[in-house]
Amino acid sequence: MGKIVLKSVRKSFGDVHVIPSVDLTIENGEFVVFVGPSGCGKSTLLRLIAGLEDTSSGTIEIDGKDATALPPAKRGLAMVFQSYALYPHMTVRKNIMFPLKMAGMDIEAATKKADAAAKVLNLTSYMERKPGQLSGGQRQRVAIGRAIVREPAAFLFDEPLSNLDAALRGNMRLEITELHHTLKTTMIYVTHDQVEAMTMADKIVVLQAGNIEQVGSPLDLYNHPANVFVAGFIGSPRMNLLTGADAQAMGATTIGVRPEHMDISTSAGKWKGVVSVAELLGSDTFLHVNVEGHGSMTVRAGGDVNLRHGDTVYLSPQDGKVHRFGADGKAIA
């Protein structure tokens, strides 16, 4: 079991209110991703759940029990850190066995469990090595192994992939998602990378300045962003946001069109512009177009589109794909 409920959780450091007030329910077995720009309070929120920081007020319930005042060890959670936080003086086996040793498990049973975890994570041949002799990806797997053996109520991940190179990051992303399918344990994952959020989460929590901007499934957030911030943050390349007469004509203060929902033509369209940069990805081409009165807009076109720097193009939003936002930044239904 691993249901986590936050009720009016606040955190202040002196006069700085990092988390003004958060209410959130994380269901048992869910993969929840906290996402937001640097300094939005997502890591602080995770550390509050872990018990590594004390809440200024509010309650944190884990499996129906008030855990607000419990020390980290008593919350039944396991955490994987950005820096892996392995014990450098212990071998991989001892690292993985450490939580079991702390729980007072006898060595034989602990060794068995550590070996089983190592098998799942392909670490069997590295058990006698020290963390310093492992690659980044292997270290991360050891950190995950150390978390698995505890059989926690929930796993907490604090930007675990940000120290890895792009290719390894993709692999580990997949491995963690598969692990979630196998273990079916609640996972809370903090990242600033919205691609990680979109691809891994059952539920995404978008945070800004310590406030929850929106909670929902990845496609929910993509198709129905609650406000301008979420619209701009979720989706890559980011949504084109326009203000002024064009927005007013549609009864909004701001309108948004995703790059993939923009039609491009060389003869006619709603907005005329000049291609400044064409990024060729093979499968897609991202065109950055300077549009008069609106600045730079991004369009996602097919990989075979033959447009280059300096070409004049016309852009039009696809029907029904324009997001409208009011003066308060909130979406207009």
Q: Which residues bind other proteins (CB under 8 A)?
A: 50, 52, 71-73, 77-79, 81-83, 85-89, 98-99, 102-103, 146, 150
Would you say 84 and 130 are in contact if contact means Cβ atoms under 8 Å apart?
A: no
**Bond into 237 cis (ω within 30):** yes
| Helices (runs of H) and strands (runs of E) counted in the chain | 9, 18
Q: Is 227 exposed, middle or buried (0-12, 13-18, 19+ CB in 10 A)?
A: buried
Of the pair 105, 195, the CB lying nearest other proteins is at 105
For residue 109, the minimal CB distance to other proteins (Å) is: 16
Of the pair 88, 310, the CB lying nearest other proteins is at 88
For residue 128, the minimal CB distance to other proteins (Å) is: 17
For residue 35, the minimal CB distance to other proteins (Å) is: 21
Token duo for residue 329: 């930044």
The percent helix, strand, coil of the chain (3-state, each to 5) is: 30, 35, 35
Of the pair 47, 180, the CB lying nearest other proteins is at 47
Of the pair 127, 209, the CB lying nearest other proteins is at 127
For the four alpha carbons of 161, 167, 170 and 171, in that order, the dihedral sign comes to: negative
In 217-330, DSSP assigns E strands to: 240-243, 254-257, 262-265, 271-280, 284-291, 295-302, 312-317, 323-325
Of the pair 183, 307, the CB lying nearest other proteins is at 183
For residue 120, the minimal CB distance to other proteins (Å) is: 19
Q: Which distant-in-sequence residues (6+ apart) come within 8 Å of 153 by Cβ?
A: 1, 2, 62, 63, 75, 76, 77, 185, 186
Rg of the chain on CA atoms, in Å:
23
For residue 180, the minimal CB distance to other proteins (Å) is: 19
Of the pair 89, 119, the CB lying nearest other proteins is at 89
For residue 306, the minimal CB distance to other proteins (Å) is: 51
For residue 152, the minimal CB distance to other proteins (Å) is: 9
Residues 13, 8: Cα–Cα separation, whole Å: 17
Of the pair 79, 121, the CB lying nearest other proteins is at 79
